[in-house]
Structure 1
Amino acid sequence: MKKLFLILAAAATTLAASSQTKELDNLNKRLTKSDEAVADAKKAASVNTWIERADALLAASNAYTKELIAGFSIEQSLNLIGEEPAEIVEVEVSGKPHKKYSFENYDIYVDENGSVAFWNTKNEFRPGALNGAFDALKKAYEIDPAAFSSKGYLVATNLLNQFNTNGMNLYNLDKKADAANLFVKAAETNQMLGNVDSVMIYYAGVAYNEAGEYDKALEYLNKAREIGYDQQGGVDSYIAYIQQQQGKEEDAIATLEAATVKYPTNNQLVTQLIDLYVQTKRSPDKVVAMLDKAKELDPKNGALYMLEGSLWEQMGESEKAEAAFLKATEIEPDNYIGYMNAGIMKARKGDKFVEQAQKLDINDVKGYNALIDQAIPFYESAIELLEKAHELNPKEIAIVELLKGLYYQKQDEGPEMEAKYKHYNDLYKSMQGE
């Protein structure tokens, strides 16, 4: 039985290869016939000529990969394509392990479950076939937008699906700008079918942003928002983020202010706006009002208290800043930044007494010691908070530097403090690479 199975399998492979060769020969004849038709002025004036051309070019665009379906097992896929890979290699794509099955005209990427995740077309049967199919369909649409026959509708639908598939393949391969271009064409194809494809328009904006083409990203995200695809303010938030990346803080603020009027209960918008208010040093009254509103909507959001602390710190209100940072640690006890910032506030209070002491007459020992005694409790509180921050994030060098400086002042208090200073001093040097 085993021998018979192998013979049949070999026969099946031979038949598949023979069948594919015949299909490609027929496709080549279709393309040649289409080339001749569009070169004929009379035939080129016909909608059907261009629809047939779009169909033929679409077939050419995926002639080597038409059997591939995302989610199929690689075993199923290899049986369908009737071809063995030239090599199989382990690769990492977008931080995830894949196996790449390499063929002459395409590569298949297989996930950890053994399923086809996506593929990369290295060669089209006719170069530029997919774009050519789109141009042909547009030509048919220009001749007569209402003349799409049932075949024209089917061709356009198939072309739309191909743009979606190829776009996602390119996106997964981190070719974000190329993916965005295909998402745009998918939306335009759908428009010829009489539909508004807000999702593809949004995907184009996302992909352009990730490709670093911010102006194009904003163009398509704004289009998505204008046609009603705004994700309850989520698209506004994304637009503002990109504007901020471009250094256009005022544009970002205008976007968020308009969005918060439309979606006043969207705390993401409110928080993002507050952050920009703080960065651009807006009127404190305005920021505080926004913070109070945000805290009412989301009282368990520690980030709001961190923002409040930053605001009070900028205004020189150290007591209020410290209180806000400590409140943030109550809400999010695992967030080291709240402890670090509260520790810095405590240390600054101690520093003020030391600064006053250093300004006294050198002979005023009593006054000097009195001020230093007032500084010590603040430094001790700062150490306690910073030790907690270090425990939560031992890799933050700024915390280690602060602790080193605080324990340096306490070395003369005994061997324990001296050991603490040595520990943080050595750690600081090692983190600096010394």
Structure 2
Amino acid sequence: MKKLLVSFLLCSATFTVMAQRAKVSSAEENLKKPDLEKAKADIDAALQNDKTKNDAKTWLVNGQILEAMGTKAKDPALALQAYDSYKKALEIDPKMKEAVLVMNQSMYNIYAVVANAGYAALNEQKWEPAFTNFTKAEDVVSFFNSKNLGSTIPTDTSLVFYTGYAANQAGQKDQALTYLQKAADLQFKAEPALYVILGQLYEEKGDNAGWLKAIEQGKTVFPKDKRFNDMEMMYYTKTGKTTELLSMLEKKIAENPDDQQLQLDYAIRLDNLANPHDEKGNEVAKPANYDELIGKAEAAYKKVLAANPSDAIANFQLGALFFNKAVVYNKQLNDLDSKQQTGPKAKELQGKMEELMNQSLPYFEKADQSFAAKGANLEASDKQSYESCLYALQKIYAIKNQTAKMEEVKKKLDALK
């Protein structure tokens, strides 16, 4: 009797295993129909049974069903559950033959669902979900490609870029730098923003070598995008490499002699180098080569005005150049003691100051006319220059005792406020 009982129990156990494996087969059949609800119910039963829950085939079929559900619903959560199930199958049986036949398309489908969820979040400016989905999509690719299952999912450079972009927007600067640098190394060429943001991130980190490299890469890939010229000039300015900056500008002017904006930028750069200020906007000591810099700036402004006499900014800047020199003499005059105020030194300084004021006046007046002619089209960036121009005119008219003109300028200033 014992022997019969044991035999009966063994048959019963075998029947139970076969029944649960039948659940796996039934799940496969329902997946093919497709009846995903029945397929999921069948595979869940197999996953809950001790005899089949540790079979690679059970987890493989579970992954297929979840993948189909996730793809149909475009649900990244379901797709990632499918991914985990496939990983479990390979964990149980790393050399599973069926995985070679199934997983290439399946893993790509999972990757596509999760990546598309990232793009959807990106379009809605939901930066954290976008970044999370993008990184999970990349995890899917990295895992599958590491398993040598007969094929790979190609690297999507766009996804790498947008992962970095989303990270940057979400404030995750280190992650952003990693992904954006990877996109640059992969020679991503669809978005100049890659190199703009990459340069900014390196600048924020104080990595000047990385900053300059990003600018140079941007210029190479997008030679017509002027932002990289501006970034390059900013780099040379902030790193104190004035010789390189001026050489770069002079080279560009030689290559583009009719580019008046470039000529004006060059003049302003020279002017700013000759009249440096600290971070708070306070004047600091003039450089040793002040006379050389200011002379080149004056000549450059005049070249711009020779081509376009009514250029508002060039007129204002050249007027300011003479006016600022006059202010230096005025300060020296005010620093004289009471006895010196009536002496030859005072007379010399007064003469130099008035001469420079007179030189600046026609340029300020021309700038006033040009700015005023823009009327409602005056750009916000020009408004500050116009205000400075009017304040300078008011000062000059006061020195000349031209009260009527002072009042006229005052009305213009009031109208700008």
Give the direction of change, closer, same or farther, for the CA distance of 1:148–1:307 in structure 2 (3 Å limit): farther
1:254 positional shift: 4.7
Query: Which residue of structure 2 aligns with residue 404 of structure 1?
Result: 391
Cα distance in 1 for partners of 2:317, 2:207 equals 25
Whether the 8 Å CA contact 1:233–1:266 is kept in 2: the answer is: no
290-299 or 188-197: bigger deviation: 290-299
Asked if the contact 2:310/2:367 (under 8 Å) is kept, the reply is no
Change (3 A) 1:378 1:161: same
Q: In terms of mean alpha carbon deviation, does 172-181 or 191-200 score higher?
A: 191-200
Alignment match, 2:61: 52
**Counterparts in 2 of 1:342 and 1:26: CA distance versus 1, 3 Å:** farther
Q: 1:55 to 1:424 in 2, by over 3 A?
A: farther
User: Quick check: which one's strand share is greater?
Assistant: 1
Letter in 1 for 2:63: A
Between the aligned partners of 1:198 and 1:416, the Cα distance in structure 2 is 66
User: CA 1:394–1:305 in 2, change beyond 3 Å: closer, same or farther?
Assistant: closer
Call closer, same or farther: CA 1:304–1:397 in 2, change over 3 Å.
closer
Q: Is the 8 A contact 2:320 2:360 kept in 1?
A: no
Query: Is the 1:38–1:49 contact (alpha carbons within 8 Å) kept by the matching residues of 2?
Result: yes
* 2:77 equivalent in structure 1: 128
1:423 paired residue number = 411
Paired with 1:290 and 1:147, the residues of 2 have a C-alpha distance of 62
Q: In terms of mean alpha carbon deviation, does 204-213 or 326-335 score higher?
A: 326-335
AA paired with 1:373? E
CA drift at 1:310: 2.0
8 Å contact from structure 1 (residues 350, 378) kept in 2:
no
Q: 1:217 is paired with a residue of what secondary structure?
A: helix
User: Residue 364 of structure 2 contacts residue 389 of structure 2 at CA under 8 Å; is this kept in 1?
Assistant: no
For the residues of structure 2 that align with 1:267 and 1:310, how far apart are their CA atoms? 20
The one-letter code of the counterpart of 2:358 is I
In terms of Rg, which structure is larger?
Answer: 2
Task: Give the corresponding residue for 1:351.
Answer: 327
- Partner residue, 1:198: 157
CA distance in 2, matches of 1:293, 1:328: 17
2:243 to 273, 285, 298: 285
1:342–1:385 Cα contact (<8 Å) kept: no
Which residue of 267, 272, 280 maps to 1:313?
Answer: 272
Contact residue 310 and residue 366 of structure 2 kept, 8 A: no
Contact 1:278 1:307 in 2 (8 A): no
User: Cα 1:148–1:346, aligned 2, differ >3 Å: closer, same or farther?
Assistant: farther
Please report how far the alpha carbon of residue 352 of structure 1 lies from its aligned counterpart in structure 2 after TM superposition: 3.2
1:153 maps onto 2:104 in alignment: yes
Question: 3-state DSSP class of the match of 2:328?
Answer: helix
CA deviation string 1:402-428 (max 9, x = no partner): 413422431565464133232134235
Scaled by the length of structure 1, what TM-score is found?
0.63
Query: SS of 1:163's equivalent?
Result: helix
Amino acid at match of 1:399: Y
In 2, the alpha carbon distance for the partners of 1:247 and 1:333 equals 43
In 2, the alpha carbon distance for the partners of 1:381 and 1:366 equals: 25
Deviations 1:130-151 (A, max 9, x none): 4323333444565349854454
| Paired AA for residue 393 in structure 1 | L
Q: What pairs up with 1:106-255 in 2 under 5 angstroms?
A: 128-140=77-89, 143-144=94-95, 148-191=99-142, 192=144, 193-229=152-188, 235-244=194-203, 246-255=204-213
After TM superposition, give the deviation of residue 55 of structure 1 in Å: 3.7
Q: Would you say how many aligned residue pairs link Structure 1 and Structure 2?
A: 343
Q: Is the 8 A contact 2:173 2:201 kept in 1?
A: yes
Q: 2:318 matched to 1:363?
A: no
With over 3 angstroms needed to count, the CA separation of the structure-2 counterparts of 1:342 and 1:378, relative to structure 1, is: closer
Q: How far apart are the structure 1 equivalents of 2:217 and 2:406?
A: 56
The structure with the greater share of residues assigned to helix is: 2
Query: Which residue of the partner structure matches residue 285 of structure 2?
Result: none
Query: Deviations for 1:146-205, whole angstroms, at most 9, x for unmatched residues?
Result: 854454333223223212321221011111231122223333434523422222112211
| Code of the aligned partner of 1:423 | K
Where 1:195 maps in the other structure, the secondary structure is: coil
Task: Write the distance in 2 (CA, Å) between the matches of 1:144 and 1:334.
Answer: 78
Shift of 1:220: 0.8
Which consecutive residues of structure 2, in runs of 5 or more, have no partner in the other structure? 1-33, 145-151, 275-289
* CA RMSD across the alignment: 4.2
Q: Provide TM-score, normalisation by structure 2.
A: 0.65
Cα pair 2:215 2:231 within 8 Å, conserved: no
SS in structure 2 opposite 1:174?
coil
Preserved CA contact (<8 Å) 2:312 2:367 = no
